[in-house]
Structure 1
């Protein structure tokens, strides 16, 4: 499965020193991979695919959090 190779490559990719445009591109790529794995999961119900999706989603959330930046405290 080609999509799983992409998923593992993204999962093991180093995130330090990325530019904003690289973060946006990686976030979009993660979303594409997650959705593609989800389509396969719907057919096979393989729990290992769900684990891969969870790990990629966690990584995507970290990237998105970094993209949005810190929200100022409001009083």
Structure 2
């Protein structure tokens, strides 16, 4: 389960003071990890894997918000 060790390291990594290129790389890495864990989850149905995917997704969304900027409220 090497992918789970990678996911844990990614989850614990600091995301402050990153360049735009670093953010793009981190977003892609998060996506790769989520999809890889999802393949394992499909076979094992372990709820712990789902929790890991959820935490990675939250971190990925934060990175994506920094990349794309917050949407205007439209008012």
Q: TM-score, normalised by structure 1?
A: 0.94
Gaps of 5+ in 2: none
Alpha-carbon separation, structure 2, partners of 1:70 and 1:43: 36
Shift of 1:70: 3.3
Match of 1:13 in 2: 13
Distance 1:74 1:36, change over 3 A: same
Match of 1:64 in 2: 64
Alpha-carbon separation, structure 1, partners of 2:56 and 2:28: 12
Gaps of 5+ in 1: none
Shift of 1:17: 0.2
May I ask how many residue pairs the two structures share in their alignment?
Answer: 75
For residues 29-60 of structure 1, give each alpha carbon's deviation from its aligned partner in whole angstroms, at most 9, with x where no partner exists: 00000000000000000000000000000000
Match of 2:2 in 1: 2
Alpha-carbon separation, structure 1, partners of 2:17 and 2:62: 14
Match of 1:45 in 2: 45
Secondary structure of the structure 1 residue equivalent to 2:70 = coil
Secondary structure of the structure 1 residue equivalent to 2:15 = coil
